[in-house]
Amino acid sequence: MTGQPVLLTSDTDGVRTLTLNRPHRKNAIDAELWDTLKTALSAAGSDRTVRALVLTGAGNAFCSGADIRNGVSSEHPLYRMRTLSEVTLLLHELPIPTIAKVSGVAVGAGWSLALGCDFVVATPDTTFSQIFARRALSLDCGGSWLLPKLVGLQQAKRLVLLAETIGAAEAHSLKLVTWVVDADKIDVFIDDLAARLVAGAPVALAQNKALLNENADRTLREALAGEARAQAMNFATADVPEAYAAFTEKRPPHYTGRWAVPGTAAPGTTAPTVTEDS
């Protein structure tokens, strides 16, 4: 993948497609891709020739979440979370309709980004997981705000606290997927859906989308700030390096909630190469 762009952009008849392009990592989002995605979403929102946006992933996955292969960074988590929050807000507040085209895995931050789109179209083999708790982490990318609104508080707690993996059919039944479409038909389906959106009155669509978002709740910014604070606390415990060590040693993790120095691993452990869906 050396020399390849981490995000592919293409325009067709008013539809801009952004393709996460790290298939060797199941499109796990690293710092470069977070920054590139932020720039691309900002550009899409200010380009009047773009009437609809499709977000998808290269290869056989949508997105396996944030790339945590280097373990706990020495950078303060609040700085990293700021970029995630900016991407989430840009996607949520885009004045054009957005479609997540999902296949393979949509995990952690990857699933939250899909849910941040106006429509989610998945193939039958797609799997989803809010895997954060299995990594000793809490929700990010707006998941704590989105999930209860979409599925209700009890189902949100089930998905988050148990960190279960569910299939496309169940995600559809929970109203987390708008349509489930066979893999050999999804391209045509997406093209037709996007064309219908492009054919709509852009100002009216933008206003209707904003009205629905605003009237549902006006506290997304507060939720993102809370997520950032919670994630900073997570990274300051011994449980995060313990989660990485347990993954490497193929054993159940032992979580204590013990306070630890950020950016250091527990004694005798090293952080493995993992993504959120590992």
Residue 264 has pLDDT above 90, yes or no: no
Q: What is the pLDDT of residue 236?
A: 82
The domain spans of the chain are 1-182+208-278
pTM here is: 0.84
Token code pair at residue 42: 């900002």
Instruction: Give the Cα separation of 91 and 94 in Å (integer).
Output: 5
Q: Give the tens place of pLDDT for each residue, 160-212.
A: 999 999 999 999 999 999 999 999 999 999 999 999 999 998 888 888 888 78
Provide the pLDDT for residue 201: 86
Categorise residue 87: left if φ over 0, alpha if ψ from -120 to 50, beta otherwise.
alpha
Which one has a higher pLDDT value, 36 or 70?
A: 36
Closest to 149 (Cα-Cα) out of 65, 208, 216, 90: 216
Task: Give the tens place of pLDDT for each residue, 67-88.
Answer: 877 655 567 777 788 999 999 9
Q: Which is more confidently placed, 222 or 114? A: 114
**In this model, does residue 1 exceed pLDDT 70?**
no
Fold topology of 1-182+208-278: 2-enoyl-CoA Hydratase; Chain A, domain 1 (3.90.226)
**What contacts 29, CB < 8 A, 6 or more positions away?**
20, 22, 37, 63, 65, 66, 67, 109, 110
Contact (Cβ atoms closer than 8 angstroms) between residue 15 and residue 266: no
* Under 8 Å between Cβ of 119 and 99: yes
* pLDDT computed for residue 210 by the predictor: 82
Q: Which residue has the higher pLDDT, 131 or 215?
A: 131
Burial code of 138-170, b = ≥16 C-beta within 10 A, e = fewer?
Answer: bbbbbbbbbbbeebeeeebebbbeebeebbbee
Q: Which are the contacts of 102, defined by CB distance < 8 A and separation ≥ 6? A: 56, 57, 62, 114, 120, 121, 122, 123, 126, 177
Highest mean pLDDT among 1-15, 38-52, 239-253: 38-52
Distance CA 166, CA 105 (A): 10
pLDDT tens readout for residues 2-31 = 579 999 999 999 999 999 999 999 999 999
User: Would you say 101 and 56 are in contact if contact means Cβ atoms under 8 Å apart?
Assistant: yes
Distance CA 50, CA 57 (A): 20
Enclosing H/E stretch for 179: strand 179-180
